[in-house]
Amino acid sequence: MTQISLIIPTYNESKNIPILLDKLDLCLSGINKEVIVVDDNSPDKTWEIARNLSSQYPWLKVIRRMTDRGLSSAVLTGFEQAEGKILAVMDSDLQHDEEALVLFLSAFDKGANIVVGSRKINGGSVENWSPIRKFVSWVATVMARIALPCKVTDPMSGFFALDRSIYLDNKNKINPRGFKILLEFLARAENAQVQEVGYTFKGRIHGESKLSSRVIYDYIFALYELSLGQYIPARFIKYGIIGLSGLLIATSVIFFCQKFTSFSDATSVAISIELSILTNFFLNNYWTFKENKLFGFWKTFRGIITFHAICLGGAFINQAIAIKMLGYGFDVYLSNALGYLVAAIWNYMINVNITWKV
Ligand code: GDD
Ligand code: MN
């Protein structure tokens, strides 16, 4: 049986891939292996360059993906095709140290079922990182260690390996967004025996990094979903943030009406409520519920009407609870705040099930 399947995701790495394959050929020469390059149809034709080398390297497979994109999802595509007992992942840009792969294999021999290449233990380091990148990496690591039960030193490592059984047991639970595929396995694999292997993360010589602010946002979102998100859905937090923005908008509208118009207080309040409901609707449609966004005139129109009706229901709940609490002698602010919170939960739950139901 193939001992190790090494998955190499690539995007615009035409200069790096021939060098890397040559290095792998040398350092893994005695090992029964397959190397699977997963390329997302790179404009620089990385896939073609790799394919041309497969006559030279019988252990090389190249997958060219035409529609899917993204690092994590490329890794999962590679895992699906892999036949090895151990499934490893390595960057194609020569920043990971291929020599460490041999140490990975001996860690599996010693009983590990997840092995993580780490820049942060003895024997690990990074080459010429700016202080800013060091800081971002430090913050991300601390966040992961707080959020997740598994205490590895380098949870964002893109250099790691899994026993096939870990992959098979967890593959249906994995969310393939962004760069944090290892994190998903660490968070979900219940019987993980994790070992770390130090290596030096080298500077990039050819091509450029694809790590963007979007990747960082996805990462923070994933950390939340893998920890607290099991109890309070991330969507509810988004809904809450937009709810607060509504309060800000309403206050500004009242301020504007008072300053520049001769509307009565009641009219100003009515306008502010209507405007904040409308902005809340659109912001939720574009952000909180973007996966099932309403579009087209009639669908949006129907959504706006339903959203209003639900908000009205929420207002009644808010008022009913506040009055009840006032009756028990609670302070007016506290009574209203509790009413507001319960109404927000109600609004959210009904909107999920009616306005933005898929
Ligand atoms: N197929 C495919 N599709 N491959 C991709 C994509 C994509 O959309 N985006 C990036 N890759 C490949 C790159 O070609 C490279 O081989 C590897 O994934 C890593 O991408 P880089 O853009 O070089 O990432 P980095 O060096 O900034 O980030 C490294 O460090 C991070 C933590 O500091 C990676 O190892 C990350 O996995 C790691 O989280
Ligand atoms: Mn890189």
pLDDT of residue 287: 95
Q: Are 35 and 112 part of one and the same domain?
A: yes
Instruction: Report the DSSP beta bridge partners of residue 36.
Output: 7, 61
Confidence of residue 214 (pLDDT cuts 50, 70, 90): confident
Q: How far apart are CA 265 and CA 212, in angstroms?
A: 47
- Phi (first) and psi of residue 291, to 5 degrees: -70, -30
Please tell me the number of the ligand nearest to residue 179's CA.
1
Q: Are 52 and 138 part of one and the same domain?
A: yes
Q: Are 71 and 180 part of one and the same domain?
A: yes
Q: Which of 228, 250, 275 is the last residue of a domain?
A: 228
- Model confidence pLDDT, tens digit, residues 88-100: 999 999 999 999 9
Token duo for residue 194: 């994790």
94 vs 145, more confident: 94
Q: Are 249 and 316 part of one and the same domain?
A: yes
pLDDT of residue 271: 93
Domain total of the chain: 2
CATH of the domain at 133: 3.90.550.10
Answer yes or no: is pLDDT of 349 > 90: yes
Looking at residues 53-71, what average pLDDT do you find? 96
Please tell me the number of the ligand nearest to residue 215's CA.
1
Answer yes or no: is pLDDT of 156 > 80: yes
Q: Are 54 and 129 part of one and the same domain?
A: yes
In terms of average pLDDT, the best of 42-51, 136-145, 206-215 is: 42-51
Backbone torsion region of residue 123, taken as left when φ is above 0, otherwise alpha when ψ lies between -120 and 50, otherwise beta: left
Query: Residues lining ligand 1, judged by CB closer than 6 Å?
Result: 9-11, 13, 38-40, 69-71, 74, 91-93, 95, 137, 156, 158, 179, 209-211
pLDDT of residue 177: 75
The vertex-283 CA angle with 277 and 287, nearest 5°, equals 145
- Model confidence pLDDT, tens digit, residues 266-325: 899 899 999 999 999 999 999 999 988 999 999 999 999 999 999 999 999 999 999 999
CA of 39 to the centre of ligand 1 (A): 12
- Helices 213-226, 131-147: axis angle to 10 degrees equals 20
Q: Are 162 and 242 part of one and the same domain?
A: no
pLDDT of residue 61: 98
CA of 304 to the centre of ligand 2 (A): 45
SS3 assignment, position 304: helix
Q: Are 184 and 307 part of one and the same domain?
A: no
* Residue 74 CA, closest ligand 1 atom number: 1
Residue 163 lies in domain: 4-228
Q: Are 139 and 284 part of one and the same domain?
A: no
Answer yes or no: is pLDDT of 22 > 80: yes
How many residues would you count in the chain? Answer: 358
pLDDT of residue 336: 87
The pick from 8, 11, 63, 139 for probing ligand 1's pocket by mutation, whose C-beta has the most ligand atoms within 8 angstroms, reads: 11
Q: Which of 197, 213, 228 is the last residue of a domain?
A: 228
Confidence of residue 151 (pLDDT cuts 50, 70, 90): confident
